[in-house]
Amino acid sequence: MRYRKLGSSDLEVSEIALGLVYAIGVEVDLNRRCIEAAFDAGITFFNTANAYGRGAAEEALGNILSQHRRDSYVLATTVWGQMSDDETDRGLSAAQIAKQIDASLRRLRVDFVDLYQAHRFDPDVPVEETVEALQKVVQQGKARYLGFSEWTSEQINAAIEIGGPELFVSSQPQYSLLWRAPEAEIFRLCARHQISHVVWSPLGEGVLTGKYRPGQAPPPGSRAAGELRTSLMDPLMSERTLQAVERLRPIASGACLTMPQLALAWVLRRPEVASAITGASNPGQVHANAAASAVVLSDDVLEAVDEALGDVPVTGQRLAPLAEPGVRHRD
């Protein structure tokens, strides 16, 4: 496992991270075995969110990580999502951030998180209020560094104008062989401010694993076949996209890689990317994904990948459901 510096911070994160998203039916023992496999593979970066299972993911992760030394892992969580049936129990107001960081720390069984991220932007709250509240979390020692996920360039610049160039150390965008939108603007903007990227869905919601075949129904028990399927998967499951992914098989085989390893190594080819967040349904997947950290793709392989995919990758629009891009300031 290789490690990269996270933005302007002093954090060293494993190139492959393990994300924990709580889902009904996921066994506690399986989560534990996957996390232990992550440590065995050299993965030391764990990412979750307070909204996953409305705290259930944080609690599950905290129970397992409590068996490990606090200095043996880097821990990241987020704030923004709906946390109860109360419609106001969400967002990035000062009161909400203050409440949610304490709740997250309690569930995670730690005194601080290494990285506290705004899961999305909140256009209903003045950006000054959000920035000041996040800075207060750091000042109180409850988080070491700050990050954001899926903010627009306008939102990033507005926050930095208030909090200064060292406000954020990380961005968490969706990025994969099939989703290259951050390359158009966000990568360059963040590089100017020494903000690294911790990318989510590097395997294209599982499509880049090769488990979904053109002309065939999704395998039983897979995300696309069950209740965990979301609207994010719809454009990725088109017959055209699946046929393009199918053309990656001989390229991966020729490079002695699995399909997931090819996809992860492709993401990690960018120096702007500090880590790729992966999930796992068994310990074997954890070890297989971790092996991608040691892979350097040749120019020939990269050219073959681009030729195989053609114009399938999305580069200019947004797939993830986001808040309105406007920035609200104090009157």
Q: Would you please indicate which residues are annotated as catalytic (active-site) residues?
A: 52
Residue 202, strand partner residues: none
Residue 115 contacts residue 145 (beta carbons within 8 Å)? yes
Nearest to residue 7, comparing CAs of 82, 110, 114? 114
Residue 116, strand partner residues: 77, 146
Could you tell me the two tokens for 216? 């065939």
Residue 143 contacts residue 116 (beta carbons within 8 Å)? yes
3-state secondary structure of 69: coil
CA distance 115 to 22: 19
Place of tokens 């990380």: 170
Rg (CA), the chain: 19
